[in-house]
Structure formats: structure tokens, C-alpha cells
Structure 1
């Protein structure tokens, strides 16, 4: 849907701009000529209403002139600077909740054209821990949001609900950030609480997970079995192990037992990256129960405490 909207904005911008330009270059001079002739034949100056009656601007040209600056500004802002997204599921809990409205920084990983999404300018690459919006590799019409866990060349293991990362290192390098090269580095985990979030009747454990240079919270369901039979099987690796290809990334949701992520479908190519999630600008609660007179999509409150930068 977001892709179709981008194309629609570009079409509206080009269409209104072309109409305004043709009118400005071809028809506006003819209108000014008619007004000048009428002014020369008149003994008194013509007011604006009279000029409009003598040489009226076509409605389509007037409309294009009015909307073009606004549509062009929206298109540029949304395509190259920031794009708003709504969080539709709980796969990124507790970091992002259903009802959060976020801004995604579009230029973080390169400037792309809004229609074909071809790279126009190289800017940067995701860092481990970044929350990224990307085109779902199995259906690029769909936008996904997950956290970057593996960088190109990394070897990732997810076993017994814990991450192990062997970072990609250059020859002779001993460390990559805070991780030792040539070793599987167990990502540190610290329990925060056990009774804040629930999946049905089962409480989820909130854990502080410390990736190099960045700590964030995740949710674990201790009762849920690891679905290794559903994991993406990369040739030459174990069922719970993946080697990230060049120009690709391994993404996971923070709600580890309720997230369809790279464990199930593999890697995100660089060209699928949309941008970095940086800010929550609105957050709605949806607590309409089955007995409520309001539809489930009507907000019941605003979570003002959630507004701000995304960690």
C-alpha cells in the first residue's frame, strides 16, 4: 500500500506541475494579451474581477497551480526525508506497540527514487541494533519492521532463546566493536520483569539484551518451544545458524516468540531497505472489548508517555 501511495504522489506531482507549466508558458501570455487589449480600450483601470471575466484561468490550471507546491513538498519530504508508518502488530514489543505511529528516516541507508527504488546516492548502512523498515523479501508490496541483528559476513546462532554472534572481521582483526573475532559471542541478557506483558494467559519475560554499543528490551515466552522446523534452512549451516550474505542483513523482532522474521525467511537485501525508525510521533490505545459500542479500530486513549525517540 505504501508503494502505491508513493507512485500516486509522484503522478499527482508530475501531473499538476506539467499542467501548471503548460498554462504558464502557453496560455497565461495569451490571457495577459487579452487583458492588455481590454485595458487599452478602457478609460479606467480594470479591477481583478473584470480581468478574470475577460481572460479567465481554466479551473484545471487554477487547481494545478494551487496544489502543485503542496503536493511537491509532501512528495519530496515523504520520498527522501521522513515517511510515517503505523505499527500493525506486536512483533516489535516492547519497543514498539500496536497503535504506535512512527517516523522513518528515509535517507539513512541511501537516497532512492520513489517509484523504481533504484539507488541515487549512497549514504550509510544499517548498524547492528538499528530498527529498520524494509520491503518483505517474499512480497515486496509489504513493509516489515524489525531490528538489525546480523551484518554482512556475520554468523548468527539463535539457540535456547539466546543470540550468539560471530562477527565478520578483516584479516588480523581481533575485535569487531565489543565482539571478539573468530568466536561466537553470547549476547548478554538480564531479566527486567515477568508480569508486564502476556501472550494469552502466559506471562512474557522482559529482558535487557545488550548488542555491542546498544542495549534494548526484548520479550521471551519461556513456555514456547523453538520452532526450528520452520526456520529458514541455509545450505551448509545448522537449523538454527545463519551466515549473512554480502549486501544483506539478518533481522529479528523484539517479541522473539511472536515474530515472523529472518529466522523463518532468511535475509534482507540492501536494495529492500526503506529507512531507519527514529521517532514515535503518536501512540493510540485500542481497548474496545466485545461489548463496546465502538468499532475496534477507534482509539480509546493516547499514550503520551511513549512519544519521542526510538531506542
Structure 2
């Protein structure tokens, strides 16, 4: 699903603001502040000379107060420098946190229901799958690889400006078969436990619900009765499409090296790898792990993501 395309530009905007305010801050610390200090010293020297002459002429001057006022006026930062200096450390901290540690997202669609609801505010771990350079998203430090069952945020392969979120169904080398709403991974049928029908509180419609056990990760999925496992006419042309075969009952794909197969938990209302293909490792953003708020259900939606 699309996680607000506007967020794709936020990292760049934040980076530009950090650079601009940082340059102003460094310029002020290492140059402009010294210039103001020199100007203050000259003004104080001139004042002291005038004061000494007045004192010699017998005129009393409130030297301390006047001198302090002159010095403060000369050392005062211009407003644009003052604000830049105040914002720079805040912007730099936010940029570091969201680039290398945790990034917030908002869920705008229902493709991950019932795991994630529309309006959920989630946190994504940016370092679980390796440390990547911000903006260009290039991995520089290898850490963990995505595992089956992970809920992962990634750049949509057909539009890198968009962030999507789905569940990892297949890792490199896996053979994925999805027929009649049931998954088979590497020849092993995935276990399903039926649950009570799921009620969509927005549409007031019921959907078939089950607990899926994907490599030890248990999570809920929903499906619409009568809907096909994959709507073949909607399948797009995508890289490594030769690794997939489609039929009326479903499909089979072998996940290429360096790629992942993603599906939404709302199986019949998710535009995912069934239709637009595999997710390359270079597109990975991070692992979704926590729902921290939903304005429609402020307290009920807080918790970890399974």
C-alpha cells in the first residue's frame, strides 16, 4: 500500500534544512561570532576613550551600565542566525533518528487489515536489515536479512517515490505457490487455523478470517469469498516475470536472488507481488514493529506488530 507519497520527499527536505542551518551555525561559530566580538571590542575601546575624556573633564558617567549595553548590542546575533542556530541541532537529531534508527509512517489503505488498520501510526526499524545511507538508500553495513513473516516497508518497484508495506512471504530461493487462498512454501503447505469472521467497522462487512503460521510467525489474514487467488488479467510485466507461472487457481513463483515476495494480509484487497513482481533488496526501507497510535482508536491500537 502507498504510505503517503509525500513522505518520500521528507528525508530530502530534512537533509537540505539540516545542511542550510548547519552551514549557518558553523559560519557563525567560526567566523561571524569572531567578527561581532572584534566589532564589540572596537566599540568598547572607543567608548572607554570617550569616557576617559569626560572623566578628565569632571563629567561623571555610568560606565558599567553603558559599557554592558554597548557590548550586548554588538554581540547580539541577527534573528536569522539565532533561529538557524536553534533549529540546527533539532533538525540534525531528527534526521539521524529517522534515517538510521526509527521512522514513523501512517497506514493509508486496508491492504494489511487486520494486522494494520487505516490510520495506524507505526514505527519502522531502519537498521534491522542493515545500515543504509539516507536519501540514496544504499546499504553500507550488512546486518540481518528479511525473514518470512516480517512486515516490511519498501520502495514500490514501479515508483521509487512511494513507500509500500506488506508481509514477507518468500525470501531468495523460495518456491511460492498460492492456490485457492492457501500458501505453499518450498513444497510445504502453510498451516491455517480458522477464526471468527472479521468485521470491517468502516464498511460493516464480514470477511473470512484465519490465523496463518508462516515459518513460526502467526498472524491473521482475511479473504473475500468468491474472489480469485490472483486476478490474472491485472498482472503486470515485471523483472524476473519468467520465474512465475499463473493459472486460474493461483500462481507459482521462484524468488530470484536478492529479491523478496510480498503479500498483504488482506489477501483479496492487496496490490502486491502477485501483480507487480519482486522487491529487490535495494528497495528495502525497514521492518515495521510497533503501532503507537490510531486517532480513531487511540488506546486500542497501541502494540507490537505480528
TM-score of the superposed pair, with normalisation by structure 1: 0.84
Does the C-alpha gap of structure 1 residues 263 and 237 become closer, same or farther in structure 2, counting only changes over 3 Å?
closer
Partner deviation per Cα, 1:173-202 (whole Å, 9 max, x = no partner)? xxxxxxxxxxx1000011111252389675
What RMSD over aligned residues (CA atoms) do the two structures have, in Å? 2.0
- Give the structure 1 partner of residue 271 of structure 2: 260
Structure 2 residue aligned with 1:238:
245
Say if 1:35 and 1:164 are closer, same or farther in 2 by CA, change over 3 A: same
Paired residue for 2:19? 14
Aligned 1:160-309 pairs, distance under 5 A:
160-166=180-186, 184-197=187-200, 203-226=206-229, 227-231=231-235, 234-235=241-242, 237-239=244-246, 240-285=251-296, 302-309=297-304
Matched residue of 1:3: which SS? helix
Distance (whole Å) between structure 1 residues aligned to residue 232 and residue 133 of structure 2: 38
Seen in structure 2, the aligned counterparts of structure 1 residues 80 and 196 have a Cα distance that, compared at 3 Å, is: same
What TM-score do you get using the length of structure 2 for normalisation?
0.85
Preserved contact between residue 198 and residue 204 of structure 1 (Cα < 8 Å): no
> Would the alpha carbon gap of residues 50 and 206 (structure 1) be closer, same or farther in structure 2, given more than 3 Å must change?
farther
Does the alignment pair 1:98 with 2:118?
yes
Pairwise CA distance, 1:35: 2.2
1:73 Cα deviation (Å)?
0.6
Secondary structure class of the residue paired with 2:295: strand
Corresponding residue of 2:176: 156
Instruction: Please give the per-residue CA displacement for 1:245-269, whole angstroms capped at 9, x wherever unaligned.
Output: 1111000000000000000011000
Residues in 1 aligned to 2:303 and 2:117: alpha-carbon distance in whole angstroms:
14
Change (3 A) 1:262 1:53: same
SS of 1:90's partner is: coil
2: CA distance, partners of 1:46 / 1:215: 74
Alignment partner for residue 149 of structure 2, among 108, 111, 129?
A: 129
The 2-side partners of 1:151 and 1:305 are apart by 32
Is this contact kept in 1: 2:243–2:255, CA < 8 A?
Answer: no
Partner in structure 2 of residue 310 of structure 1? 305
- The answer for the alignment partner of 2:59 in structure 1 is none
Instruction: Point out where structure 2 has 5 or more consecutive residues left out of the alignment.
Output: 1-5, 49-62
Note the residue ranges of structure 1 that are not aligned, 5 or more in a row: 167-183, 286-301
**Structure 2: how far apart are the matches of 1:133 and 1:104?**
8
Inter-CA distance 96–58: structure 2 relative to 1 (3 Å threshold) = same
Q: More helix per residue: 1 or 2?
A: 2
* CA distance 1:11–1:48, shift in 2 (3 Å): farther
Tell me which residue corresponds to 2:74: 54
Question: In 2, Cα distance between the equivalents of 1:121 and 1:270?
Answer: 13
Write the distance in 2 (CA, Å) between the matches of 1:208 and 1:89: 21
Give, in whole Å, the separation in 1 of the partners of 2:147 and 2:257: 14
